[in-house]
Amino acid sequence: MKLVILDRDGVINEDRPRGVKSPEDWVPLPGALDAIARLNGAGYRVAVATNQSGIERGLLDMAMLNAIHTKMLRAVQQAGGRIDVIHYCPHSAAAGCRCRKPSPGMLQDIGQRLGVPLASVPSIGDSLRDMQASLAAGARAMLVRTGRGRETERAAELPRGIPVFDDLMQAVETILAPHTP
């Protein structure tokens, strides 16, 4: 089974300064929904791994998070694609949980749930913690410049060798490009 793991805010949709706290705040990035549909059309399953500390901090509740994800799933479906799995961490950084990125727990859980070793799985994000979680899980970290990606690209802590793309569509095109011997 072919799998790609995506961060949500800043990769699929706009990353709002105060967070995405309602369906109205969830606005897809240009080309992102079509990129997911292209992955599906090429036989990839798509999973989302997203930190959602706003739940623990009381900025939104589970009903609101579910409403945001319902809007996202419908929008992806209207573009001809699907998201197979959504994993989220409701904890703040202070909680020290194994699921909050930069820890690899969410990605590992996705791999286990789908029965896919993460060694060659592309994991696309826009933040340093996305890259750290991907590498810690053994996935193939890929950075997009959308969301916080441009500032992440300039960060001294960014591990060397991580490929950087303008947006999700460019990353997907690279994933789907035929490999030459």
The residues annotated with a catalytic role in the active site are 7, 9
Strands (DSSP E) found in the chain:
2-6, 44-51, 85-89, 122-125, 140-144, 164-165
Give Dmax (Cα) for the chain: 52
CA distance 176 to 2: 11
Please report where in the chains the tokens 């590992």 appear, as a residue: 108
Which residues partner with 144 through β-bridges? 165
Give every CB contact of residue 170 below 8 A, 6+ residues apart in sequence.
Answer: 144
Side-chain half-sphere exposure of 79, counting CA atoms within 13 A: 24
Helix, coil or strand: residue 69: helix
Cα angle 104-102-25, degrees, rounded to a multiple of 5:
110
